[in-house]
Each structure stands twice: as structure tokens, then as C-alpha cells.
Amino acid sequence: MLKVNIENIFGFVPKDEIYSLEARVAEANSSIYNKTGKGSDFLGWAGLPSRTFADTAELKRINDCASRLAGLSDLMVVIGIGGSYLGARAVIDALSSNFNALLSKNERRAPLVLYAGNNIGEDYHTELLKVLDNADYSLIVISKSGTTTEPAIAFRLLKEHCEKKYGKSGASKRIAAVTDSSRGALKKLADSEGYETFVIPDDVGGRFSVLTPVGLLPIAAAGFDISKLLQGAAGMENICRKECSFDNNPANLYAASRFSLYNLGKAIEILAGYTPNINYIIEWWKQLYGESEGKNGIGIFPAGANFTTDLHSMGQWIQDGVRNIFETVISIKEQCHILKVPNDANNLDELNFLSGKRFGEINKMAELGTSIAHVEGGVPNILISIEKLDETNLGEMIYFFEKACAISGYLLGVNPFDQPGVEAYKKNMFALLGKHGFEKESAEIRNKLKL
């Protein structure tokens, strides 16, 4: 079971101060469950794991579609951005071999998942098309609004490629869409082309949607067990709902700790892991917390680090730079494989003191040594430990972070479920590209840029 240990922040914030937030955290919880807080139309994620886990018909439909697409494909292209991309990638990367792309078809458990529409790179998408020329593939297109530019243009491109390659009716069997129940261009398109379609519930926002078909369909298509993922999340949902005390409720403890640290001037949180498998968990977390909290001139800046790699790049800054940071470490107890340092009779590299030791043990000592050094260097340290990287533990962790994020947002006094700031770049981009309806903005921006 996931645990949060905050002993290494007590040298910075007294324990009493954190525990004195208990009533405010309880209030945030009741705003979530009673739907009385800001953004209360978007609280569907709070009971989602148990609800979806019990919906065996929908789970079967997701798994059946995933197997059908997988059966047709060596490659699966998942098209989406932000909350319609990061959660699936986080789970798939965490559970896959680091070298999945290099494995043979037989060694790989399911199609290799590739991503599109998460950027507008011309070279990226050209190179992707070249890869797709020579492989059998399917597409999962995901957009709640159905109007986001990045995935929409990528889908237009890939749909055309797919139809040229397999014919219109062949392509429609290889494409599944995940979108809003009734609105948006993607819904209209999917209905008219006859794609299999899955719905993102109205009351679940993008960055809280990994446990809807947004994440579940690609994760199932990549060969992983979505029931276990939901079961893990439902277990955490239960704990977070029932356990009131800080000590037994990890989401409450994490939210209160980071809020206390923020009030102390620790404006940057670095989420660190010690295995590349969780790099995209960190990316997903950055989006979840960044979009939820950073508004009205406040909010903790969520940064990520991949240790020990980044100890040789950002390590100096973290140890010795401006003391406005704190660190949250995801610690994974068990590794999937056993690998030991070999003995060398000549010992010319003087490493025989490590002979026979597991890489995991050395990594753990790096983790412990780093946390001691960082705390002594003035960086408070929160430790989140999980048993291992599997579906159940990832499900627990996903729900834990979502719940703590909502509580954190309410403690800060912001609406954790909107993202008005994201519109600013879109408005300028549409104005510059001459989108219909943006004529006034277009004139203004062209004037500003003296175009």
C-alpha cells in the first residue's frame, strides 16, 4: 500500500503546524464529496475507480476493442495531448520494457504504442508517417472537446494515411475515438465514419481522466490489465474517503505538507524518481498539479527530476541553489528484475566492494544518500513509497495524486478543475493563423507585431 512519510520536513515546518491543518483539509474533503467547492461540475473523478470497476459491461467493451485493434496491428498510434495523452503514456511506460521499441514482435506482448498530436512537429509527424508506411497499425484518437488543434490536425493526417492504406471501410475498423458524449467535431466525425466510440464523462476533466477510456483503452491495447489498475485506484478511493486522520490518509498528509511548505516560501516542488520507467508518471503529475494549481498569481511550480541521471545535471542546483524548493521522492520497494554487479578478479576499477550487490540496492543507497544530503542542504523531503511498478500500485498512486491535488487546490483557494490560462496561446495562434471568428484579435496581434 502507498505510504507518505513526511519526517524529513519537520526540520523546516513543525509537525504541529501541519497537523493543525486537519480541519481545513476535512473541509476540502467535504467540498469534494458534497460538491460544494469551486469547479464542482468536474468532480466525477472522485468516485470513478469504484464505479468503473463495477461496470463490467463497459470494461469488457474497452478490452474487446483493445484486443480487436491489437489483433490488426503491429503499431498503435494514440493521438491526444495534455490530459488526453499523458496518463496513458505514464502507465504504459511504467509497465513496459525500457527497450520496447527494440523488441521483436514476438517478444513484445502487444502492439508498440506510438504517440501523435502531442506536438505540432513537422519532422515528428513526417517521420511517423514513414514508419506507418511499412507497418500495420491502428489509431486511437482522444479529445474531450474534440476541437484541440494539435490532435485534430494529427488525426486529419493519419486518417488520410490510414484510408489510403486500408480503404475507407478498412480504416474505419482500425480507428477508435474517445470523446465527449455529444458535443465537438470529433464526436460528429466518429459517428459519421462509424468508428467505435468511447465516452469521457462530462464531469471528468482532461487531467483527471486517465481512469476513463482516455487512459483505459490505450493501456488495454498495450496489453495491460485495466481491471487491476482500477482495483488499485478503488482501494485508494476507499482509504481516502474513509480515513480521516492524517496518519492513515496519504492524500490528506501530502496535501497539507506541500501547502505548509508553500507557505514557508517553498514555491517549487521537484518530483523525483529513481528509474526511467516513471519519467512519464512525473510528466503526468506535472500537468495534473501545474494546470490545477497555477492560477491567480499563486501555486507551487511542479518540476520533475530523474535520478540518479539528473544528479549529474540538476544535482548541484538542488543541493546548493536558491532555497525555495522541496522534493517529493517516489520510492519503489521491489524491482521487476534481479541484476548484480559482477566480481572482477583484477579489480582494476576498484569496484569489488560492490561485487554481488544488486543494482537495486545500490540505487536505494543513492536514494537514501541523496535525501540525507538534500535535507541537510535545506531541501525538505517528502517520501512516497510504493511496493512495485504494477497495475494495482499504479492505480493506487494515480488516485492518490488526483485526490491530493484537489485538496491542495482547495487549500490554496483556487478552482483546481479549470485552466483558463491555457486559452491565451490558443487565441494568439488562431489570430495569427487567421481562424474564422478571430478577425479582431488577428488585426490587434498583427498591429502589435508590425506585420
Among 148, 275, 306, 442, binds ligand PA5 (CB under 6 A): 148
Could you tell me the smallest distance in angstroms from the CB atom of residue 83 to ligand PA5?
Answer: 3
Specify the stretch interacting with ligand PA5 by CB under 6 A; choose among 4-12, 58-66, 80-88, 366-374: 80-88
Angle at the Cα of 247 (from 245 to 249), degrees rounded to 5? 65
Active site residue 436: no
Specify the stretch interacting with ligand PA5 by CB under 6 A; choose among 79-87, 343-351, 357-365, 406-414: 79-87
Could you tell me the smallest distance in angstroms from the CB atom of residue 267 to ligand PA5?
Answer: 22
Beta bridge partners of 302: 269
Could you tell me the smallest distance in angstroms from the CB atom of residue 43 to ligand PA5?
Answer: 14
Helices 226-242 + 250-263 axis angle, to 10: 70
Active site residue 391: no
Among 255, 230, 181, 206, CA closest to 32: 255
37 versus 205: smaller Cβ distance to ligand PA5: 205
Tell me which residues in 209-268 interact with ligand PA5 (CB under 6 A): none
Binding residues with ligand PA5: total (CB under 6 A): 14
Letters for 191-220 (x = contact with ligand PA5 by CB under 6 A, - = none) are: --------------xxx-------------
Whether residue 110 contacts residue 141, with contact meaning beta carbons closer than 8 Å, is answered with no
In the β-sheet with 325-332, what is the strand arrangement from edge to edge? 3-5, 381-386, 325-332, 268-273, 301-306
Given the C-alpha cell 485508494, which residue does it identify?
Answer: 236
Amino acid of residue 176: A
Three cell numbers written together for 86: 499523458
Whether residue 359 contacts residue 306, with contact meaning beta carbons closer than 8 Å, is answered with no
List Cβ neighbours of 353 (8 Å cut-off, separation of 6 or more): none
SS3 325: strand
Letters for 154-193 (x = contact with ligand PA5 by CB under 6 A, - = none) are: ----------------------------------------
Angle at the Cα of 229 (from 226 to 234), degrees rounded to 5? 125
Tell me which residues in 275-304 interact with ligand PA5 (CB under 6 A): 291
Among 52, 73, 84, 275, binds ligand PA5 (CB under 6 A): 84
- How many beta carbons lie within 10 A of that of residue 298, not counting itself? 12
Could you tell me the smallest distance in angstroms from the CB atom of residue 205 to ligand PA5?
Answer: 5
Q: Given CA atoms 19, 20, 23, 29 in this order, what sign does their dihedral have?
A: negative
74 versus 203: smaller Cβ distance to ligand PA5: 203
Q: Given CA atoms 384, 386, 390, 395 in this order, what sign does their dihedral have?
A: negative
Helices 250-263 + 22-33 axis angle, to 10: 120
SS3 124: helix
Longest dimension (CA), the chain: 76
Identified catalytic residue from 105, 130, 312, 448: 312
Q: What are phi and psi of 291, to 5 degrees?
A: -75, -25
239 versus 412: smaller Cβ distance to ligand PA5: 412
Q: Rounded to whole angstroms, how far apart are CA atoms 101 and 354?
A: 31
Could you tell me the smallest distance in angstroms from the CB atom of residue 14 to ligand PA5?
Answer: 35
Active site residue 426: yes
Letters for 25-64 (x = contact with ligand PA5 by CB under 6 A, - = none) are: ----------------------------------------
153 versus 303: smaller Cβ distance to ligand PA5: 153
In this chain, which residue has its C-beta nearest to ligand PA5?
206
55 to 36, 138, 315: CA distances (angstroms):
27, 26, 46
Among 67, 100, 145, 319, binds ligand PA5 (CB under 6 A): 145
* Core vs surface per residue 179-190: b (16+ CB within 10 A) or e: bbeeebebbebb
Q: Can you say how many angstroms the Cα of residue 365 is from the centroid of all Cα atoms in its chain?
A: 27
Whether residue 301 contacts residue 122, with contact meaning beta carbons closer than 8 Å, is answered with no
Among 37, 44, 49, 82, binds ligand PA5 (CB under 6 A): 82
Letters for 388-427 (x = contact with ligand PA5 by CB under 6 A, - = none) are: -------------------------------x--------
Could you tell me the smallest distance in angstroms from the CB atom of residue 206 to ligand PA5?
Answer: 2
Among 2, 18, 77, 81, binds ligand PA5 (CB under 6 A): 81
Identified catalytic residue from 269, 291, 391, 396: 291
Asked if residue 118 binds ligand PA5 (CB under 6 A), the reply is no
Identified catalytic residue from 3, 164, 333, 426: 426
Asked if residue 144 binds ligand PA5 (CB under 6 A), the reply is yes
187 versus 266: smaller Cβ distance to ligand PA5: 187
Where on the chain is the footprint of ligand PA5 (CB under 6 A)? 81-84, 143-145, 148, 151, 205-207, 291, 419
Active-site positions read 291, 312, 426
